[in-house]
Structure 1
Amino acid sequence: MNLKKYLERIKYTDRLEITDEVLFKLHQQHVHQVPFENVDIYLKRHFSLELEKVFQKIVSHKRGGFCYELNLLFNWLLNEVGFSSRIIASRIYNENGTLGPPFDHMSGYVKTNKAFLVDVGYGDLFVIPLEIKEGIQYDGRNYFRIEKLNENDFSLSMSPDGLEFQKRYLFSLDTVHLDAFTSICFDKQTHPNSYFVKNLVCTKPTQNGRITIFNEKLIEKNNRHKTETLLQGNDVLKTYLKDKFDMEVDMDFIPYHQPKMVVPVGINEI
C-alpha cells in the first residue's frame, strides 16, 4: 500500500500512533472525505474486491464505494498503520425489523486496550468508532446503542435524540474470510431486486449536515435547513458529482456479461 497517498486521500495530516485518538481521527476523516456511492453499479460496471483495484478506484481515482469496498480498504489502512484490525460480517435490519442474509454488510473490528466497531461504509451511521460495550454512545451527531446477544453477536441501534432507537444491524466478532462476501457483493451489483441496482446513491457528511445524491435529486442538509435540486440527465449528474463530491466520473454505460448466478440472496438498503 502507498500509505502516504491514502492519507492524502482522506486529508489526514496528524501523527500516526497506535492510540484510540488516532483511530478516531482516521475514521472521521475517512467518512468525511470518501463518499458512500454506487455510481459504478448505476453505470453497469462490475467491480471486484481485489485490494489493489479497490485502492486504485478509491485512492488513485478519488472515488467512493459501498460497504465491502470502503471497509475492506479501511481495514487494510489500519493494519498498515499498525492497529489490530479485521473485517467482520454484519446483517442489516429491514424497516420491518427482519434481518437480511449473512454477509449482507461488512464492518470492522479493532482491538486496542478496548474493543471497537468501525464502519466507514454504511452511508449514514456513526462518524467515529463505537466501543463494543452495552449502553448508549454519542458520536456528536446521533446516539447509538449496542446490545450483546451472546458471546460474539451484538446488535446496533441508532437514534437522533437518544430516546427512540431503530435497529441498524447485527454484527458478529467471529473471524470471517473475504471470500465469504464475494457472492453477495456481486449479487448487490447485478440482481434486479438489489437496492443498489434500483437506486443511485452518493452521500457523505458535511460539517453541519449531509449532502446526498439520491436518484434524480441532490439533497443538501445544513443544520435544520434542507434543499433539494432536481438533476436532469447524466451531464448534470456528472457536474454535481464533481462540484459536490470532487468525483470525476466517465458517465458512459458499460454493460458487462453476467455469469450464471448461484441461488439469489436477499438485498437490503444502505
Structure 2
Amino acid sequence: MGRLMKRFALTVPFENLDVIHDTTWHLDENSLFRKIVENDRGGMCYELNPLFFYILKGMGFRGQMIAATIDGNDTTMQNTHIASVVFHHDEPYLIDVGFGMNLPLQPLPLTGEWVHSITGNYRVVKTDICGTYRFEKHKNGTLKMSYTFTLAAIDETAMNEARDAVHTSAASPFNKAYLMSKLTDQGHMTLTETSYTTVIDGEKHKKDIDQETFRKLSQQKFSLHFEG
C-alpha cells in the first residue's frame, strides 16, 4: 500500500486550477477518473482521496470515505477535507494522498503509532471527544498541521459539498491564487504565480518568478496547461 501511495503522489499533483477557474461538475468515480487519469490532471483533497479510495475498493479493500476539519479553519470550512479509512485485519487505517505536501505515504494506524516519510512525521491520536481522532504532522519536534475526524462514512454528496465550500467560502485558502504541489524522489515542489519552491533532501530552495516562468513551470513540472 505504501508503494502505491508514493507512486500516486509522485504522479498526481495537488492543484487548484478548477477552483480558480470556478469549474464544477458532479464529482463521482467516473468524473474523477476522467479528469485525473484520462486528462492527466491533479486535483484537491475531495478529488484525489476519493479517486484513490475507488482504486483501493477495486483492489478489494474494505473501508469508507470520511470528512475532516482542519484545525483552525473557519466554521464555513468544517468537514471540507476528504480522506478515507480502510480496514486491515479489522483494524482501521487512515489513508490520505490529498493533503498538499502533508503526506505520510503510508497507511496511518489510529493507535498513535508514528509513521515517518520524506515530508515529516505523522500519527493519529484519539481526542478527548468520544469517537473523534486527530491527524498530526510533526517536523523537527513541532506540530505543523492537524485535522480532526470521526469514522462516520460519507458519500459523494459530502464530496460535492466540500468542493462547493472550497470554491465559494471567503475563508477558503484555495480560491485566491493558483497553487500546485507534487512529491519528488528527493522531496517535493510547490508552485504559485510568484514563487517556485523545492525541498531536496530536506533543504528548502525558493525563488521568485514572473508570469511567463509560472506558465512554463506549470507545464514542465506539473503537466498543467493554460489557454492563451
Q: Normalising TM by the smaller chain, what interval?
A: 0.7 to 0.9
The residue that corresponds to 1:121 in the other structure is 98
1:160 paired to 2:136: no
1:103 paired to 2:79: yes
The residue that corresponds to 1:145 in the other structure is 123
The residue that corresponds to 1:89 in the other structure is 67
Counterparts of 1:174 and 1:139, CA distance in 2: 27
Contact 1:192-1:198 at 8 Å conserved across structures: no
The residue that corresponds to 1:36 in the other structure is 14
1:1-270 alignment runs, 5 A limit = 23-94=1-72, 101-113=77-89, 114-125=91-102, 126-149=104-127, 150-161=129-140, 163-233=141-211, 235-245=212-222, 247-251=223-227
Counterparts of 1:215 and 1:183, CA distance in 2: 27
Counterparts of 1:133 and 1:77, CA distance in 2: 25
1:236 Cα offset (Å): 3.5
Which consecutive residues of structure 1, in runs of 5 or more, have no partner in the other structure?
Answer: 1-22, 253-270
Residue aligned with 1:196, SS = coil
1:192 Cα offset (Å): 4.2
- State which structure, 1 or 2, has the greater radius of gyration over its C-alpha atoms: 1
1:30 Cα offset (Å): 1.0
- The letter of the residue matching 1:120 is V
- The letter of the residue matching 2:115 is Q
Counterparts of 2:108 and 2:75, CA distance in 1: 21
Contact 1:107-1:119 at 8 Å conserved across structures: yes
Q: For residues 188 and 134 of structure 1, do their structure 2 counterparts lie closer, same or farther at Cα, with a shift above 3 Å needed?
A: same
The residue that corresponds to 1:5 in the other structure is none
Task: List 4+ stretches of structure 1 deviating above 4 A.
Answer: 98-101
Moved more, 41-50 or 105-114: 41-50
Instruction: Show CA shifts across 1:83-117 (max 9, x none).
Output: 1132011110128xx87743221011010113210
- Equivalenced residue count is 225
Contact 1:92-1:100 at 8 Å conserved across structures: no
Residue aligned with 1:154, SS = strand
Q: For residues 166 and 241 of structure 1, do their structure 2 counterparts lie closer, same or farther at Cα, with a shift above 3 Å needed?
A: closer
Counterparts of 1:81 and 1:218, CA distance in 2: 37
Which consecutive residues of structure 2, in runs of 5 or more, have no partner in the other structure?
Answer: none
Counterparts of 1:191 and 1:69, CA distance in 2: 18
Counterparts of 1:47 and 1:238, CA distance in 2: 25
**Structure 1 length normalisation: TM-score?**
0.75
1:222 Cα offset (Å): 1.1
Contact 2:192-2:214 at 8 Å conserved across structures: no
- The letter of the residue matching 2:227 is M
**Structure 2 length normalisation: TM-score?**
0.88
Moved more, 65-74 or 36-45: 36-45
- Cα RMSD (Å) of the superposition? 2.2
Residue aligned with 1:210, SS = strand
1:24 Cα offset (Å): 1.7
Contact 2:70-2:147 at 8 Å conserved across structures: yes
Higher strand share: 2
Counterparts of 1:141 and 1:203, CA distance in 2: 12
1:164 Cα offset (Å): 2.6
Residue aligned with 1:49, SS = coil
